[in-house]
């Protein structure tokens, strides 16, 4: 059957009606990739939900298509968000599609190159602030309360509604909910959305159970784990460089209700997982996404994921968004040699 995006596919589970405009960039329907090599090595059944194959390269498209459709339905002409990069790329693309203005506030110097390029090429008005994501979100919340501008960060409930569809897909692709769902946590909207989706699918008897949900923050931005706002969050994973997650309660609730946890991984663990999934499975996701695999590795090691478990690791964004980090962590420069067969053979045969 032809794929026509998440609103068409899941309309009976979403707050849409005959007045909701049809918007889609054919988001969703992303692959669940069985991680054959890592599964054997770890003694679990590991799958990647590869959200990097959405139209703008991250899971944000699922939420943004809903937020933008509802904004248009309500007559809004301008949308605005704060972003570590992916939200702004998605907002800019869907706004372009709908002929709306899009204003994005980003933390200066702390967003991946590809994401910045996306927001700009889609025609958003990009404003960089001397401050981090948390400050940007604070400003956007204040401004959108006063101005006729729609806020499209994940505090907009339609974002969560759209993003919950990824949990539906996981259940359908696997034939049931997994034993464990492991996901990176930044502003905590996505973990909130997945948990809502899993609960709803279970209630509708489309799965036999709900998964245990493990969320992973980056250690330098682990506000929920440390139970305190981090004023100056720091991590190589700029996507989740967030010190005061807006959906804090949603994350805590997902962990509590599912018998899961919110835990953290170091930048070293993130970089290790980032390279491991590329080299062992041929899957390139961005550093923020790698917090999820890093969390799986840690949990298998400490026994909080038992052998034989079915595990879905959510890979939230495409690795191509952040080429700088790929080159930086591998520190590999291709050597330039003569365009000559002997020279190439000498090089590759040693």
Binding site for ligand F0G (CB under 6 A): 58, 60, 83-87, 154, 184-191, 239-240, 286, 288-289, 316-317
Of 45 and 262, which has the nearer Cβ to ligand F0G?
262
Find the shortest distance in angstroms from Cβ 291 to ligand F0G. Answer: 7
Find the shortest distance in angstroms from Cβ 342 to ligand F0G. Answer: 45
Instruction: Count other C-beta atoms under 10 Å from residue 64's C-beta.
Output: 36
Query: Known binder of ligand: residue 17?
Result: no
Query: Known binder of ligand: residue 187?
Result: yes
Q: Provide φ and ψ at 92, rounded to 5°.
A: -65, -40
How far apart CA 85 and CA 287 sit, in angstroms, is: 13
Q: Provide φ and ψ at 26, rounded to 5°.
A: 65, 35
Query: Known binder of ligand: residue 316?
Result: yes
Query: Known binder of ligand: residue 86?
Result: yes
Question: Is beta strand 45-50 parallel, antiparallel or unpaired with respect to 32-34?
Answer: antiparallel
Find the shortest distance in angstroms from Cβ 152 to ligand F0G. Answer: 10
Find the shortest distance in angstroms from Cβ 294 to ligand F0G. Answer: 12
Find the shortest distance in angstroms from Cβ 110 to ligand F0G. Answer: 11
Of 45 and 195, which has the nearer Cβ to ligand F0G?
195
Find the shortest distance in angstroms from Cβ 258 to ligand F0G. Answer: 16
Of 5 and 57, which has the nearer Cβ to ligand F0G?
57
Which residues have CB under 8 Å from 55's CB, separation 6+?
Answer: 25, 26, 27, 61, 93
Q: What is the DSSP string of 102-153?
A: EEEEEETT-S-HHHHHHHHHTT-EEEEESS-HHHHHHHHHHHHHHSS-EE-S
Of 69 and 166, which has the nearer Cβ to ligand F0G?
166
Q: Which class for 109: exposed (0-12), middle (13-18), buried (19 or more C-beta within 10 A)?
A: exposed
Of 58 and 144, which has the nearer Cβ to ligand F0G?
58
Query: Known binder of ligand: residue 186?
Result: yes
Element (H, E) at 288: helix 287-301
Q: Provide φ and ψ at 57, rounded to 5°.
A: 90, 15
Of 169 and 286, which has the nearer Cβ to ligand F0G?
286
| Binding-site residues from annotation | 86, 186-190, 316
| Binding-site residues from annotation for pyridoxal 5'-phosphate | 86, 186-190, 316
């Amino acid at each position: 059957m032809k794929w026509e995006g998440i609103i068409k596919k899941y309309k009976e589970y979403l707050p849409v009606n005959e007045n909701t405009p049809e918007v889609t960039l054919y988001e969703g329907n992303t692959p669940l990739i069985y991680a054959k090599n890592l599964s054997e090595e770890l003694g679990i059944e590991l799958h990647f939900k590869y959200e990097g194959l959405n139209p703008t390269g991250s899971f944000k498209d699922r939420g943004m298509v809903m937020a933008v459709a509802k904004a248009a339905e309500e007559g809004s002409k301008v949308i605005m968000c704060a972003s570590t990069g992916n939200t702004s790329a998605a907002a800019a693309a869907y706004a372009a599609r709908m002929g709306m203005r899009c204003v994005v506030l980003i933390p200066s110097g702390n967003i991946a190159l590809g994401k910045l390029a996306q927001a700009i090429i889609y025609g958003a008005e990009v404003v960089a602030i001397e401050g981090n994501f948390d400050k940007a979100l604070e400003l956007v919340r204040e401004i959108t309360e006063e101005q006729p501008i729609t806020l499209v960060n994940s505090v907009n409930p339609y974002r969560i509604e759209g993003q919950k569809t990824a949990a539906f897909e996981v259940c359908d692709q696997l034939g049931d909910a997994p034993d464990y769902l492991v996901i990176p946590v930044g502003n905590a909207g996505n973990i909130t959305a997945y948990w809502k989706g899993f609960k709803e699918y279970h209630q509708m008897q489309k799965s036999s159970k709900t998964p245990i949900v493990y969320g992973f923050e980056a250690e330098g931005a682990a506000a929920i784990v440390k139970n305190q706002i981090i004023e100056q969050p720091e991590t190589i994973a700029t996507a989740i460089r967030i010190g005061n997650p807006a959906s804090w309660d949603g994350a805590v609730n997902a962990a509590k209700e599912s018998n899961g946890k919110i835990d953290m991984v170091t930048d070293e663990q993130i970089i290790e997982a980032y390279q491991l999934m590329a080299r062992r499975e041929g899957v390139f996701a961005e550093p923020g996404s790698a917090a999820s695999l890093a969390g799986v590795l840690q949990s298998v090691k400490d026994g909080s994921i038992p052998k034989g478990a079915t595990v879905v690791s959510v890979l939230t964004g495409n690795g191509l968004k952040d080429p700088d980090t790929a080159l930086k962590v591998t520190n590999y420069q291709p050597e330039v040699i003569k365009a000559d067969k002997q020279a190439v053979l000498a090089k590759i045969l040693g």
